[in-house]
Amino acid sequence: MASSSSSPTEMNEGGECVNWLELPPELTISILHRLGPIEIVKTARKVCRSWRHLCKDPSMWRKIVIHIEEFGDRNYEKLCRHLVGRSQGGLVEIDISRFASDPLLRYIANESSRHLRSLRISFCYQVTDKGFIAAVSRLPLLEELEVSYCSLSEECRLRVVGQSCPNLKTFKKNSFGLRGPRHEFDDVVALAIAETMPRLCHLELVGDTLTDVGLNAILDGCPNLEHLDIHECFNVELVGDLETRCIERIKFLRRPNDSVHDDPLDAKVNHECSSEDD
């Protein structure tokens, strides 16, 4: 029999041997969760029969995070569908980047409407306004929703989102901002948020076209707001009474011209934008 280059037995800091295959199931599940879904499917489930059995447990798939570097790889859409199905309706959080589509969102909504609390999609240009609204309308328990750097239009019916998801506490709709004052002024998104999302605590609108009017409306309509990111929202002047309101109300405030070096995603977005300009 061929020998293996790796052993399930290792020495811990106390000098004791630990057999990874004999750990309690709950501890093994905790370890597997740290690997991420791609590593679990490609590697961990092949280690032994007990790990393969644990990887089939629906509780393993209550949270799914899949971020890829290449756009539109249909293999990842198939993988995501497979994992959502394995959750057997118990999916609570899902965060996917660069491969979501209308059919995939529809499948997620149909399979997970009873428990899904967090839906995050980013850089998913195949998702349309119609597909996004149709899916979110079937997810009334959502508390966190993100749709960032996607191709959704500013006219996307966010009022439907607010009305369909009355428990929303976190909403992120970030876009590619300009590096100077905008020539377009539009408070459509801001007013929709102010009128339909009263429970918001965390809001990110990077690169939006809102003005002081829209920001004031958000502060009026969202009394629980504590985290506000309006980086690259250059139509907002944030001076005088409006600045005072934000300072008094908001615990974390990122202003239009603030640095984003502490945010890996925004830093990456800025880097990609710079590369496209060169």
The residue ranges of every structural domain in the chain are 18-56, 60-149, 169-278
The two tokens of residue 198 are 């009263």
Q: What angle do CA 132, 114, 169 make, to 5 degrees?
A: 60
Query: What's the pLDDT band for 34 if we cut at 50, 70, 90?
Result: confident
Q: Has residue 5 got a pLDDT over 50?
A: no
Closest to 237 in 3D by CA, of 206, 210, 207:
210
Cβ-based burial of 225 (10 A; exposed 0-12, middle 13-18, buried ≥19): buried
Altogether, the residues listed in the chain come to a count of: 278
- Give which of 148, 194, 202 is closest to 175, Cα–Cα: 148
pLDDT at 111: 97
Contact 194, 225 (CB under 8 A): no
φ, ψ at 260 (rounded to 5°): -115, 15
Is the pLDDT assigned to residue 274 strictly greater than 60? no
The pLDDT assigned to 52 comes to: 81
Mean per-residue pLDDT, 235-244:
95
Of 275, 220, 210, 271, nearest to 249 (Cα)?
220
Strands 17-19 and 9-11: antiparallel
Give the pLDDT of residue 89: 96
In DSSP terms, 229 is beta-bridged to 204, 254
Q: Which letter does DSSP use for residue 156 in this model? A: S
What are the φ and ψ backbone dihedral angles of 269, each rounded to 5 degrees?
A: -60, -45
Helix (H), strand (E) at residue 163: helix 158-164
pLDDT tens string 96-151: 999 999 999 999 999 999 999 999 999 999 999 999 999 999 999 999 999 999 98
> Regarding predicted confidence, which is higher, 221 or 26?
221
Q: What is the average pLDDT across 214-221?
A: 98
Measured CA to CA, the distance from residue 63 to residue 41 in angstroms comes to: 14
- Of 177, 181, 189, nearest in space to 215 by CA: 189
Cβ proximity of 223 and 248 under 8 Å = no
Mean pLDDT of 154-176: 89
CB 54 within 8 A of CB 85: no
Report the predicted TM-score, pTM, of the whole model to 2 decimal places. 0.82
In 28-122, where do the E strands start and end? 63-67, 93-97, 118-122
Assigned CATH for 18-56: 1.20.1280
pLDDT score at 237: 93
Confidence of residue 219 (pLDDT cuts 50, 70, 90): very high
Give the separation between CA 172 and CA 198, rounded to whole angstroms. 15
Name 119's bridge partners: 94, 145
Tokens of 172: 């992120």
